[in-house]
Structure 1
Amino acid sequence: SYDQKPYRRALMETYGARCVASPSNETEYGRRVLAERPDHPGSLGIAISEAVEIAAQRDDTKYALGSVLNHVLLHQTIIGLEAMEQMQMADAWPDVVVGCTGGGSNFGGIAFPFIGHGLRGGKKPRIVAVEPAACPSLTRGKYAYDFGDTGHMTPLTKMHTLGSTFTPPGFHAGGLRYHGMAPLVSHCKELGLLEATAYTQNQCFEAGVTFARAEGIVPAPEANHAVRGAIEEALRCKREGKAETILFNLSGHGHFDMGSYQKYFAGELTDQSYDEKELAQALSGLPSVPA
């Protein structure tokens, strides 16, 4: 993301931030990763390890969680609660709720209020989680205890995981390049309260361009996954001759991601696939936790 999204970095620097690419030479763990693989593309799991290491060593530094853990998802539910009020204002209610998923906070934010409403006896919409095919924790991961970071500095969490040592390919939806899924989202998947699907980045960028030309809003690469999911649901309704209300969360604009759109228009955006052997190795190294 440091290289793919330079304008995000420039915006942060405008407000006084110093941005460092992870893995970095500024932490012991980052140096260890780079020693093993100097060209390592990084991941959210590695960045978390570096951030936790720095915060643990400095009295003047705190680490604020942005995704995955349950309290973050519950804070984000303001999104779904507002969506419920908006639906009521429109005298409508969703038959399907779609959200993109990486660590789970964005998806939980839109989906949890509707799941809760259904569990309390209200109408139960289908809940669809859309993840990148190159980092498919819900559709390919194992439901097990694992570390939330690659350096194993965080507590064990039961979640759908590809293994904490798994490194996703460097696709452009950087916010979705995480090896695990939030415990609450994972638990809901196990209970059958939601379904999951995965799409390649070219499929998602195609959907994003379609949406931009129809609605005038350019979505972020992460949000393109939800757009793709919503379009697929609309096409299903068309095939089945049904009229359904589809709600999806457009979680961010793509104004800082136009470099990836340029690559898409030039035909340079490739659908990167993860290494099956690396995935198997990462899953084989999951912590052993007594039942």
Structure 2
Amino acid sequence: MMPGKVEVCCLIGDPVEHSLSPLIHNTAFRKLKLNFTYIAFKVSKNELKKAIEGLKALNVRGINVTIPHKTEVIKYLDQIDCRALEVNAVNTIVNYNGVLKGFNTDVAGILRTLEERKISVKGKKAVIMGAGGIARAATYALAMEGAREIIIANRTLTNAVKLARELKKSVKVKVRTLPLTVKALKTELKVSDMVVNCTPVGMSPHTDKTPIPKELLHEDLVVMDAVYNPLRTRLLREAEEVGARIVDGLSMLIYQGAEAFKLWTGREPPINSMRRAALRVLRGENW
């Protein structure tokens, strides 16, 4: 760390203990010798407004937003980027001299992951599990890439219906909803090309959980999991066992983080260094 002013960036959400965002961003700051540091703050729902006000008063440079605040935080910001408005979810905030502007870099993270893995969704049918901020971004991204039909499955069906109604205003794709039950999934997954888990099911420490029974998976599916800790969730392991193509959540994390890094610093992030740092931790290697 060089002498002088240190710019502070942070993550707010609940929980945040599992997050690798401090690791990947601090790795990038050190690699480029930037006077930045990144901290994670656990912020409950009823403390969100005060947290945003406090971070603004402290002149924090950048903020990442995670579960459960990606939609609620919008009301406390001064400006919203057009993509974040369309998705109705913010995961990155930039402090422009006291003006807080919200962005959505989750969409870019998903698009770059699809590009990296050479996965085309044009004309395909996809099932999105969940109705939170990452589900919003995934639905928007797949619609941008030309998906034929998107099914939003959620335990609370009213939340899925609300999300579908909102997204229909900004994306031109057939969007349907269904309850997140085995019976409903069985019917849809048989005729689907892709499924994206946007729920926290399977996240450490609950690594024995999966949102989809193995018998519903098949070899013609692309199975994406937004969970990155563990790197191979039970869902991905069982999908691989039946011959499905799998995509873990690490690339989504790295690429959305890279977009946030550019917004905060104006510099190109050292993506390979960020990925290596995350992989060392996820594989239990010495740091």
- Shorter-chain TM-score category? 0.3 to 0.5
Q: Which has the higher strand share?
A: 2
Which structure has more RCO (C-alpha within 8 Å, separation ≥ 6)?
A: 1
Higher helix share: 1
TM-score calculated relative to the size of structure 2: 0.37
TM-score normalised by structure 1 residue count? 0.36
